[in-house]
A and B are shown apart, each in its own frame.
Chain A
């Protein structure tokens, strides 16, 4: 019947978000009798009839369709197992990794070996958290060189910015090649790696502030060490909207 919280209110688990059957529980909320309650510490979000909570902390939980950065942990007969910064390992089967014909029993480490870092997409997550990955998607590739920075997974949309504004600005200013995984891993490669890392961590630490894009721009402009190579390759990378 009534909604008891406003958009962007801070709630803790067990707080009542809405009463009556007019609303539906979204992510981070559950129904108990005729009440909708919060599951997580987070920010209330109301989308028409859906009332949910965007969590402010917690591990990355894999979702079908997410693109992420994983590290190869094990190579088996026809599968690789990857660490995806989540409580569960993900598997990538040979059919999803390569178009070419591979002999039975062939050594798969010539494609990807233990320790390789891949940018992959989740095809499916089963009820028991069996996670299937694929490399058959644009942008999916092995990431060579560079370095990886971990940020809080819930802050990934902030780092990307509206229509990719934040990340394309960082790429432009530093001339680095940056790939962001939904699981909170950020791969950075280029001449100003350290500077780009600082900018990414700045977004992570100050994600709550208004005018963050300007602050980061100022930080990057004021840094005397910035050398943008004339032929710096800047990849356009837009991963949905900020929300």
Chain B
């Protein structure tokens, strides 16, 4: 089977076509594999296409292609709606939450994977259970706590809240990554004279790169997209984030689809870039973290 696949890959399509067109196997492969994939891709990409069309075509146009191209909607969202400020705020809370989540998840995950302590199972179950609590339920208690701490209207409230909500899944994922690194490797380093901390940094940490990337990207994207906390804990125009800015484009009686689409493009670009860079780590990372425990 494997040989067959390799052999087929080596024969150029043009040569095969010259020998008498597609074989039954090729057709079957197209119908079974490529056609469903192409349909799925269309299903996924058409909304993106429409978003780009709406963002780039003039208001009032119904053309299916963005021609003539206009950047007026981008100017509206960036200058009039205030995306320049919202974007900066989203980057700040996204990056801080990324580092905090990754650092704490690394420590928590290591402890769960390497140590057997009383209440470990209960702690794991509790972490899982927190995933069932919607953010909206915690809104007023969190609001009261942040108010007491003087964090209302501060970006730190978003960093703390998002990090806390990111942590349970991140710790569970990270413990899976740490467990996948054989303890004997760490022991060998310690036999060679390393302290536990040194062994961790020298031997374990480099092997956790896919995990760090998976957890960090998960934290960044989750924080980047969080609308509820950004609106509820902030009541200062200059501290709002991108998701709040997006919702500005739909008013009570009117909707600016061009601005909405342009805002969507601006909001999606960092997430798409993050995915493009880390997708191979992410897939490997999540599967590795998910199956080891």
On whether the two chains bind one another, the answer is: no
Q: What residues make up the interface of A, taking CB atoms closer than 8 Å to B?
A: none
